[in-house]
């Protein structure tokens, strides 16, 4: 009778240990390689369509939180960038040719609208607005 009670306790301890080990090593849910992806918001604030006085067409985009906020972001492959336009005019979120490992273009994103892109390639992405090329943002994507 007593040995049966001991056996039940031993079995219970072993079951708890196995379940605990499975959770701890991340065997449930696709293995330990699985990484939580995130969505990072980048916002165009009001009046960001206005170019700085010293800036002229042909100059490189200005990387400043005044235009895209935040204007420098580090994320991982598989993360999503959400561009949010809180300005009063339409903007784009477009990679600069030859200055991004992958090209993408949101097209015109109207006031109050947003657009999402999930990055698949590591590297540095230089992004600007085709309608207002003084606006720049740099996204670093880690492998």
Return the residue matching tokens 């009670």.
Answer: 5
Rg (CA), the chain: 24
Please state the closest distance from residue 91 (CB atom) to Cu ion, in A.
3
The secondary structure of residue 84, as a DSSP letter, is E
Only one of the segments 33-41, 58-66, 110-118, 123-131 lies at the binding site for Cu ion (rule: CB under 5 A); that segment is 123-131
User: Which residue lies nearer to Cu ion by CB, 73 or 132?
Assistant: 132
Only one of the segments 26-34, 73-81, 105-113, 129-137 lies at the binding site for Cu ion (rule: CB under 5 A); that segment is 129-137
Binding to Cu ion by residue 42, rule CB under 5 A? no
Choice from 132, 136, 138, 139 touching Cu ion (CB under 5 A): 132
Element (H, E) at 41: strand 39-44
How many Å apart are CA 11 and CA 6, to the nearest integer? Answer: 9
Choice from 73, 127, 129, 137 touching Cu ion (CB under 5 A): 129
Binding to Cu ion by residue 91, rule CB under 5 A? yes
Give backbone dihedrals phi and psi of 35, rounded to 5 degrees, phi first. Answer: -125, 140
Residues in the chain: 143
Choice from 14, 17, 18, 131 touching Cu ion (CB under 5 A): 131
């Amino acid at each position: 009778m007593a040995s049966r009670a001991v056996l039940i306790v031993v079995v219970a301890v072993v079951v708890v240990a196995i379940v605990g080990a499975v959770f701890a090593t991340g065997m449930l849910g696709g293995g330990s390689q699985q990484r939580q992806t995130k969505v990072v918001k980048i916002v165009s604030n009001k009046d960001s369509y206005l170019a700085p006085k010293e800036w002229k067409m042909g100059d490189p985009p200005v990387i400043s939180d005044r235009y895209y906020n935040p204007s420098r972001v580090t994320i991982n492959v598989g993360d999503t960038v959400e561009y949010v336009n809180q300005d009063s005019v339409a903007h784009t979120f477009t990679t600069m040719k030859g200055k991004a490992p992958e090209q993408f273009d949101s097209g015109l994103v109207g006031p109050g609208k947003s657009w999402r892109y999930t990055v698949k390639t590591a590297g540095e992405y230089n992004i600007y607005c085709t309608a207002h090329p003084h606006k720049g943002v740099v996204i670093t994507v880690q492998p």
